[in-house]
Amino acid sequence: MTQRNETCFVGVDVSETKLDVYRPDTKKLSQTDNTQEDTQELAKKLKRKRQRTIVVMEATGGYEKMLLHQLQQLGIDTAVVNPRRVRDFAKGIGIDAKTDSIDAAVISRYGQVVQPAPVACKSDHEKKHRALVDRRNQLLGLINQEKNRLKQTWDEDAKESIRVVLECWKKQLKQIDSDLAKMLKVDEVNQRFIEILGSIKCVGSVLISTLITSLPELGKLNREQIAKLVGVAPINRDSGSKSGKRFIG
C-alpha cells in the first residue's frame, strides 16, 4: 500500500469517448466517459484523496483537454506526457501487449519512475488565445480542401456552392486574425516578448500568437535546448569508437 507521505501517480489512458483510470494506491482500474460531467466527478474524487496526487496522461491531440481543465480547476497537479516515451518505457519493462487497461497502469508506473513535471495552469486569456490559434489552423485546412475541390469540380452549381463556403471561411479567418491582434495588445504577461518579436521584419500577430501559444518556452531556454524541444537539433548516435549519423526528432 502506498504511504500517505508518498506521491500517488494516477495513470489515465485517454480516448475520444472513454477514460481508463488506474490508481496505484488501491491498485484498482476504473472506466468513465470522457464528458464534462464525468471528468468533473473524477476530479472531485481525486481531490478528496489525502495524499499528494499527480495525474499522468498522454497527449492525445486534444481529447485530454477536458480532464486537464477539470483537474486544474481543483488544483490537482497533472502531467501530460509524450505517448511515444510511454510506449518505449512499456517495452523497456517487458510489456508488449497494448490495451486501454494495461496502458493506464503503464502510464501510472511511468509517472512513478520518470516523475514528469506537472503542466502549468493557464489563465483564461491563455486558453482563449490558444483556442483561436487552433481554430485558425483548422480554417486554413478547410480552405485548402475546398480550393482543391474547386479545381476538381466541373459543374458550375457545385463550384458556386464551394465559392460560397470559401467566402464564409475567409471572413472567419480575417476575424480571427483581428481577434489575435487584439489579444496581443492586452497581453501584459508577454508584452516584452511581443515587442521583441514585433520588431522583426515580416513577423506579425499571427506568427507571434502561434509562438506564444505553441512554444511558451521560447525565451526561457537557451538555443540548444529550444532547438531540441522543437525537434530540429541533431541527436548523437555514438557508441564506443563508432560515430553514427545524427538525426533530428
Q: DSSP of 115-156, one letter per residue?
A: -PPPPPPPPHHHHHHHHHHHHHHHHHHHHHHHHHHHHH---H
Residue reference for cell 535546448: 225
In this structure, the chain runs to a length of: 249
- What one-character DSSP code corresponds to residue 247? B
pLDDT value of residue 153: 94
- C-alpha to C-alpha distance for 158 and 123, rounded to whole angstroms: 44
pLDDT value of residue 5: 57
pLDDT in tens, the chain (249 residues): 444 458 899 999 999 999 999 999 899 999 999 999 999 999 999 998 888 899 999 998 889 989 999 999 899 999 999 999 999 999 999 988 788 778 999 999 999 999 998 988 888 899 899 999 999 999 999 999 999 999 999 999 999 999 999 999 999 999 999 999 999 999 998 999 999 999 999 999 999 999 999 888 888 888 888 888 888 888 877 777 777 787 777
Residue 244, number of CB atoms within 10 A of its CB: 10
Instruction: Enumerate domains of the chain plus CATH numbers.
Output: 8-114 (3.30.420.40), 124-216 (no CATH)
